[in-house]
Structure 1
């Protein structure tokens, strides 16, 4: 009888863990204060080099070679950047550069960082982003960039 209770408890824990992971996947999160205060000089060189100074927001996708969801994320973000003014997308493969992921506190791939032209982190998404939700979260930053360009 003890084995049945252990099996049942294991099943419950697995289901709860699965539901939590599913709920967090693709969720847009605001940048932590330390990341939001970061500037270009504090970014790892490959990330700083990937920023587009002409874009209000650069989406930096942190990927690895063996990551299947990264391909889906690349398609979503590329399409979003192609149809949105002021938005640039770059896919950064960190398979051979784990120090870059470590410096950015990236624990999983894909992770998408939305960075301002000055290197400040605006938000991040762990997992495959939901395009409309991401665009909605970016809208104030894109509009601010457009207003700054008009002056």
Structure 2
């Protein structure tokens, strides 16, 4: 086989593989919406049952923390501490806790409960549909 013919065959095979990969990744139909109709954009971050009342859950891979200050009330905040940018690590006793310098933030509004941070955690938009929490 000549060099030109070989390149043509390799290019054609690569193009067919790329077309198959794009087809497999394409968003056709209702795939990925889940049974609860949660927003397709961003997908489900957590389930309401995953977030304890009076507590919360840090979603390190999403850069946010979701809290449930009162039953059925869900809030979300950036997980980046406003003191020196460390990632908060836990939610304990009604506070979002930064492990670097022990700043504590209120789970209901992100305000500073104790420093050294002086600015609140910025809120993140979320929506709750059924038992699914997704980006709002």
* Superposition TM-score, scaled by structure 1 size: 0.30
* Superposition TM-score, scaled by structure 2 size: 0.33
Q: Which has the higher helix share?
A: 1
